[in-house]
Amino acid sequence: MTTNLESTLTSTLYGQVDTRVINTAKNIKLLVCDIDGVFSDGRIYLGNDGEELKAFNTKDGFGIKALGQNGVDVAVITGRKSNIVEKRMTALGVKFIVQGQEDKLPALQDIANKLQLNAEQIAYIGDDVPDLPCIQHVGLGVAVQDAHPLVRQGADYITFLNGGCGAVRELTDLIMMSQDTLDNATGASI
């Protein structure tokens, strides 16, 4: 007999996931993401003239667009400021882009208030200690596979994939799978 404290596992495209995570993901209306270490691998390339470069995974981009097409809003909150982030997230149709925000929880709460959502309707994915207050505040707190150990300990779900290597897509697929909208994911990777 299974009690409320025991978990059961459900097969996903990426591996076995606790059924409680799937059930929580059914109610998600907003996905909030960190950038460095989540959409990217966390490395920042600086050129001799101060040019900054980041690599983004097109699979993550497809997942963000598909999630938005299926009724889930997306926001990013990052501690750094970058024109690259503004351009990439705008191209993906991200509605809320908050940069230069070291204390991320007030920004998350502001977005939730604008959308009239409670914490249980929000998922947050991060990789480092500044993300932990948001991860612990929302209904579905997610750490990428290569997140800091404290973040992994505080998360409800740890992705099978590393940041910058499809972890965001994994989460968008999980949310859409739980909401029976994964088959609606169409379009092109961007």
Is 10 contained in some domain? no
Distance separating alpha carbons of residues 70 and 148, to the nearest angstrom: 31
Residue 60 near residue 168 (C-beta atoms within 8 A): yes
pLDDT confidence of residue 155: 98
Is residue 11 one of the residues assigned to a domain? no
Domain housing 48 = 16-184
CATH number of the CATH domain containing 130: 3.40.50.1000
The per-residue pLDDT for range 86-117, each reduced to its tens digit, is: 999 999 999 999 999 999 999 999 999 999 99
What local confidence, expressed as pLDDT, does residue 51 receive?
Answer: 86
Tell me how many domains the chain contains. 1
Whether 3 is covered by a domain: the verdict is no
6 in a domain, yes or no? no
Read off the pLDDT of residues 118-151 as tens digits, 9 standing for 90 and up.
999 999 999 999 999 999 999 999 999 999 999 9
The Cα–Cα gap between 136 and 123 comes to 10
Assigned domain for 49 exists: yes
CA dihedral over 162, 168, 172, 178, signed as positive or negative: positive
In a domain, 71, yes or no: yes
Report yes or no on 9 lying in a domain. Answer: no
- Answer whether residue 1 is part of any domain: no
Are 165 and 42 a contacting pair, CB within 8 Å? no
